[in-house]
Amino acid sequence: MMDTEDEETARAVARALGDELRRAREAGGWSRAQFVVRLPSGIGDRTLLAYEHGLRHLTILRLLELSEALGVYPQDVLGKALQRARIHLQNLVLLVDLRRLLRDGSYKFRPLSQWAKNRLNDVPNGIVELPPAAVRELAAFLGSTQQDLARYLAKFLPEPSDDDDQSYEVM
């Protein structure tokens, strides 16, 4: 049996994963009814609704099926969901919108501003992927923990409208 913390984490992941699937479906321009017709499993729109609202947990196979039908990579959907839910950040490749980071007024992480400005010169869409090793190095530079910096950077996940160009610069 799961303890309360595990149950809360499972609910948070289910909600975030559902949100990411809904975002991908809407970005594709499909209603729920239009989308379920594309699925080989024949699930109904109420089942899809339950997945998208985090009321029903996805199996790995269902995540693969939905991702394939959406034309997205399941690992990207899961990574964005975990980043949005702020879970297991130390293990994730974080997506960071540098423009949003520059608009933030955090005093503790202010030295990142110059880094972000410099990176914008090389990254036309303003979005970078930061693997755990890069976050660890930036945290050491800032005198912060990797966990604190990852939690801070996770806030700057690109919004779907910013995601139109799916190419990201890896640090």
Q: Report pLDDT digits (tens) over 101-154.
A: 999 988 889 999 999 999 999 998 999 999 999 999 999 999 999 999 999 999
Question: Could you give the percent of the chain with pLDDT greater than 70?
Answer: 92
Print burial letters for 2-37: b (CB count within 10 Å at least 16), e (below 16). eeeeeeeeeebbbbbbbbbbbbbbeeeebebeebbe
| Predicted confidence band of residue 1 (pLDDT cuts 50, 70, 90) | low
Question: Could you give the percent of the chain with pLDDT greater than 90?
Answer: 78
Q: For the CA atoms of the chain, what is the radius of gyration?
A: 17
Average pLDDT over residues 158-167: 58
Separation between Cα atoms, residue 152 and residue 145, nearest integer Å: 11
Cβ proximity of 162 and 123 under 8 Å: no
Q: Which pLDDT score is estimated for 124?
A: 87
State the sign of the Cα–Cα–Cα–Cα dihedral 142, 134, 127, 81: negative
Quick check: 50 pLDDT over 80?
yes
Quick check: 165 pLDDT over 70?
no
Residues 78, 81, 87: CA angle, nearest 5 degrees: 100
The two structure tokens encoding residue 171: 């640090």
